[in-house]
Structure 1
Amino acid sequence: MPVLGIIAALHHEIASLLQAMGPDIKIHNIGQRAYHEGTLMGQPCVIVLSRVGKVAAAATTVTLIREFKVNSILFTGLAGSINNDVKIGDVVVATQLLQYDLNAAPLFPRYQVPLLGKSHFDTDSKLTEQLKSSVQGYLQHDMNNDIHPQVLDTFKLQQPQWHAGIIISGDCFVSNATHASQLQQDLPDALCVEMEGASVAQICHEYEVPFAIARVISDKADGSAHTDFNAFLEQVARHYSAGILKRFLSLN
């Protein structure tokens, strides 16, 4: 049966899933990371905490592919919005990913990965459609049951929406309105910014492994981002990640 690799950058995002795997879980310690091998809803899975940043995520992805022979990969986590239509509590499902801090000009065009000839990496269409359906189902049917009404009110999560589009990645936590505005100006089609997804996308492209990525919007990538991020991670994000992935697994 095909094996699914599930990656998150922070422990809160996978804690509920690890509990759901039950007592038969096998833990493999490789490269200072714990890879949790087991089943979720009958689906063979390997769940791992990549830690933060593009190098960490890339190393984790290679290990999933080479050591565990995963057939597909999902990455869930948080992101900051850099699009006025994308609000806190919304979910962005990636269709393409790009490294905004990659610039080998004048040798290669800005954003292009040298010698690959690509700047934008496409997600797998089938997995992405399944992920869209899972996100939509969670927001419409499960979110209000998972998250306390007071928390929903605090973060103004009354009618969160889902979006599909470009996610950009870089090795910087964007918490400055000027930086966010510059990214929005340079890459006007981008919906949100984070620190891992595009590196996962590049590795999956090179190894020809299908992948999909969803990001929950925790902040507006501005001066309050660090405060919003931590509170949102603890009170909201862990429910989103587990709920969306459980819906995804139920489709298979």
Structure 2
Amino acid sequence: METSAAKSIFVFVYVLIITLSTLQETNGVLNGETQKMISEANKNGPYLGLVIPNLSEMNPLLQSPSFTSSNLTIDFQGRRFRFGKIDEKDVVLVTTGLGMINAGITTQLLVSLFEVEGIVHYGIAGNANPSLNIGDVTILQYWSHTALWNWQRYGDGPEDELSLEENGDYTREIGYIKFANYATNVTECNLHDNFLNNVWYQPEEVFPIDGTPEERQHAFWVPVDSHYFELSKNLESLELEGCLNSTTCLSETPKVTRVLRGTSASIYLDNAAYRNFLYRKFNVSPVDMESAAVALICFQQRIPFITIRALSDLAGGGSAQSNEAATFISLAANNSVTVVVEFIKNLSANYIISSA
């Protein structure tokens, strides 16, 4: 009887431990096994973190002969962290999922869990710059988030103070889009005759790790790491793929180009009027849904980063080249991986020289 009772107690305690361990992981607390794996992984760090929107952009890298997997993966909070090497550089790969929130959460998890020396964010993007072409790979100096808005009430105009502007919450410094300018018959539109009125673009509130907690700063244009950007000059002569197959090729040979600005929003941009506005207003080239979130996390965490985006379409159409994003998405993804691998090789070589 005592033996049976003891066994029952043992089983109960065992099940309780397993249950609590599972609940801890579910509630965002690292369980013992996961914590152990992370600690072991960090002994081999620091790593260069590769942050990638989705599997279609990651798979070409996983299949690349330049990537060697360590067969270590760590799953946490719906993310899978893959470890390996690119040209002897220790790397950790993770996909974010779609949009700014997913990209921000994933990047923060990466830098919080692992010893990371820098971030390379890559993938495909739409294009707002008419001087660039599908298949080109862009390397950006600055990123912005253009979907943090103050939507002005009907009847107010550019000279009217925004709600809460006097508190420093909002500003008119960056500028606005006036919806009345995009009516089908613009000549019939007066200054404030569109109920949608104006949207004013806003900077992000940021809280750097070396700042005072809860004391906000603001950032709109976030610069990439100056050393990484300077190093990327070496990639501009890189040869890229221009054909999907023997019958489907781009009319212009893709190139690597460093450009001044890109912008992100959790909006799939397929509208020529808004694309043209963004280009004229902000002088941006790639438009995507994740890069600014990665940039903002790295900016706040003081972690070097760079973004590499291959252009898969002219956002909103209008080019002579076939312009469905699905047509050239694989070519663009492959070109982005080609540039990322070469960048990491240059980074490794530069590190060896500077350490010598």
Alignment TM class, shorter chain as reference: 0.7 to 0.9
Distance 1:23 1:79 in 2: 27
The alpha-carbon distance between structure 1 residues 24 and 75, as it changes in their structure 2 partners (threshold 3 A), is same
* Structure 2 match to 1:143: 241
| Contact 1:8–1:77 (8 Å) recurs in 2 | yes
Q: TM-score if structure 2 supplies the norm length? A: 0.63
| 1:48-80 C-alpha deviation (Å, 9 max, x unpaired) | 111111111111111111111211000111111
What is the letter of the counterpart of residue 15 of structure 1? Answer: N
Matched position secondary structure for 2:82: strand
- The aligned runs of 1:150-229 (5 Å cut-off) are 150-151=247-248, 153=249, 155-160=250-255, 162-187=257-282, 189-223=283-317, 228-229=324-325
* Structure 2 match to 1:56: 102
Q: 2:85 aligns with which of 21, 36, 39?
A: 39
Larger radius of gyration, structure 1 or 2?
A: 2
| 1:110-166 C-alpha deviation (Å, 9 max, x unpaired) | 3311332211100001112223423x2433xx536x864533x2x323253513210
The alpha-carbon distance between structure 1 residues 19 and 90, as it changes in their structure 2 partners (threshold 3 A), is closer
State the identity as a percent.
23
The alpha-carbon distance between structure 1 residues 165 and 150, as it changes in their structure 2 partners (threshold 3 A), is farther
The answer to whether the aligner puts 1:118 opposite 2:216 as a matched pair is: no
Q: TM-score if structure 1 supplies the norm length? A: 0.87
The alpha-carbon distance between structure 1 residues 92 and 242, as it changes in their structure 2 partners (threshold 3 A), is closer
Matched position secondary structure for 2:140: strand
| Contact 1:58–1:200 (8 Å) recurs in 2 | yes
The answer to whether the aligner puts 1:96 opposite 2:142 as a matched pair is: yes
Q: How many pairs are equivalent?
A: 244
The answer to whether the aligner puts 1:133 opposite 2:234 as a matched pair is: yes
The alpha-carbon distance between structure 1 residues 7 and 150, as it changes in their structure 2 partners (threshold 3 A), is farther
| 1:188-228 C-alpha deviation (Å, 9 max, x unpaired) | x2112111111111100110000000111111111489962
* Structure 1 match to 2:170: 108
> What are the ranges of 5 or more consecutive residues in structure 1 without an aligned counterpart?
none
Matched position secondary structure for 1:83: coil
What is the letter of the counterpart of residue 228 of structure 1? Answer: E
Q: CA RMSD in A?
A: 2.3
| Contact 1:92–1:165 (8 Å) recurs in 2 | no
The alpha-carbon distance between structure 1 residues 220 and 3, as it changes in their structure 2 partners (threshold 3 A), is same
Distance 1:217 1:96 in 2: 17
Q: Which runs of 4+ in 1 moved over 6 A?
A: 224-227
Distance 1:35 1:137 in 2: 32
> What are the ranges of 5 or more consecutive residues in structure 2 without an aligned counterpart?
1-44, 151-161, 172-200, 206-215, 349-356
